[in-house]
Amino acid sequence: MQETRRSPAAPTRTQRLASGGEIDAHRHDDHQIAYASRGIIAVTTDAGSWIAPATRALWIPAGTVHQHQAHGDLDLHLVGLPTTANPLRLDRPAVIAVSPLLRELILAYTRDPDDDTPPRHRLRAVMLDQLALSPQQPLQLPVPTDPLLRELHDILRSNPADNRSLDDLARQIGASARTLSRRLRDDLGLTYPQWRTQIRLHHALILLADETPVTAVAHRCGWSSASTFISVFRRTFGHTPGTHPTA
């Protein structure tokens, strides 16, 4: 990703973006938490894409070149943290769970960024404590470095409903299924079915943010039935897509 600008301090603020809106590639000298109380936020780096609905937030370490994109009308809450405050002890982007308490703390903390009163300082301390307790979630869509896998990645991203076998896809890009499987394990640590499921879930979250019906999402993402999609979604996110919080 080409870096377009640098901001020494990561801002703490609330920002609204229309569906499809973007914040161009940039980086901060501080850490940042990005949380969408409405809509879905996607963050893209050279290493991949991370996506977070209203039950998740994104951790963006200091120095990471990243770009934001809105799926669905977005209320985005950004929390800047100095490098001395790293409650997650992470040096790479991650998606973290947001409990009801942490949600309210983030909303309150970003409501008035210029407030420098002792009550707000105490609120920040509780927020950092809650962040430290937030588990990571498997919502990253990694971008492979291998050229053959990048070709396969582009095919699957352009049409997540493509149900051709790995053998058929391998022939299209001039490789063997065995070669692609081995490179997937070496590059991403994933099997082909695991990777394809991640791509499909990533796309499903975007469609749900645009209020696409669950049955349509299932078919457009390649699942044979809505019930199969619902089962995979529940196993991954802990709730069904019909109750998925996007607002």
Query: What per-residue confidence (pLDDT) applies to 52?
Result: 84
Q: Are residues 45 and 69 in the same domain?
A: yes
Query: What per-residue confidence (pLDDT) applies to 145?
Result: 85
- Total tally of structural domains belonging to the chain: 2
CATH (domain of 50): 2.60.120.280
Tokens at 28, concatenated: 């901060």
Q: Are residues 177 and 161 in the same domain?
A: yes
Paired residues of 33 in beta bridges: 59, 79
Domain boundary among 91, 123, 140: 140
Paired residues of 136 in beta bridges: 96
Q: Are residues 169 and 101 in the same domain?
A: no
At residue 242, φ and ψ (nearest 5 deg) are -70, -20
Q: Are residues 47 and 163 in the same domain?
A: no
Q: Are residues 95 and 203 in the same domain?
A: no
User: Which structural domain range is residue 169 located in?
Assistant: 144-243
Q: Are residues 181 and 227 in the same domain?
A: yes
Q: Are residues 46 and 160 in the same domain?
A: no
Q: Are residues 130 and 235 in the same domain?
A: no
Domain boundary among 140, 169, 204: 140
Q: pLDDT of the chain along its 247 residues, tens only?
A: 555 555 656 678 899 988 888 889 999 999 999 999 988 888 888 878 888 888 889 999 999 999 998 888 889 999 999 999 888 888 888 889 899 999 999 999 999 988 999 999 999 999 999 999 988 776 677 778 899 999 999 999 999 999 999 999 999 999 999 999 999 999 888 899 999 998 999 889 888 887 889 999 999 999 999 999 999 988 887 778 876 554 4
Return d(Cα 193, Cα 46) in angstroms, integer.
Answer: 23
Return d(Cα 33, Cα 23) in angstroms, integer.
Answer: 15
Please check whether residue 141 is in contact with residue 51, taking contact to mean a CB–CB distance below 8 angstroms.
yes
Cα atoms found within 13 Å of the Cα of residue 169, Cβ hemisphere only: 23
Evaluate the CA torsion angle 22, 107, 132, 235 in order and state its sign. negative
Query: What per-residue confidence (pLDDT) applies to 73?
Result: 86
> Helices 100-111 and 118-132 sit at what angle, rounded to 10 degrees?
140
Q: Are residues 102 and 221 in the same domain?
A: no
Q: Are residues 100 and 185 in the same domain?
A: no
Q: Tell me the whole-structure pTM to 2 decimals.
A: 0.74
Query: What per-residue confidence (pLDDT) applies to 1?
Result: 57
Q: Are residues 185 and 83 in the same domain?
A: no
Residue type, 38: R
Q: Are residues 184 and 100 in the same domain?
A: no
Residue type, 200: R
Domain boundary among 89, 113, 140: 140
SS (H, E, C) the chain: CCCCEEECCCCCEEEEECCCCEEEEEEECCEEEEEEEEEEEEEEECCEEEEECCCEEEEECCCCCEEEEEEEEEEEEEEEECCCCCCCCCCCCEEEECCHHHHHHHHHHHHCCCCCCHHHHHHHHHHHHHHHCCCEECCEEECCCCHHHHHHHHHHHHCCCCCCCHHHHHHHCCCCHHHHHHHHHHHHCCCHHHHHHHHHHHHHHHHHHCCCCHHHHHHHCCCCCHHHHHHHHHHHHCCCHHHCCCC
Return d(Cα 221, Cα 17) in angstroms, integer.
Answer: 25
CATH (domain of 195): 1.10.10.60
**Going by C-beta distance under 8 Å and a sequence separation of 6 or more, which residues neighbour residue 141?**
48, 49, 50, 51, 198, 199, 202
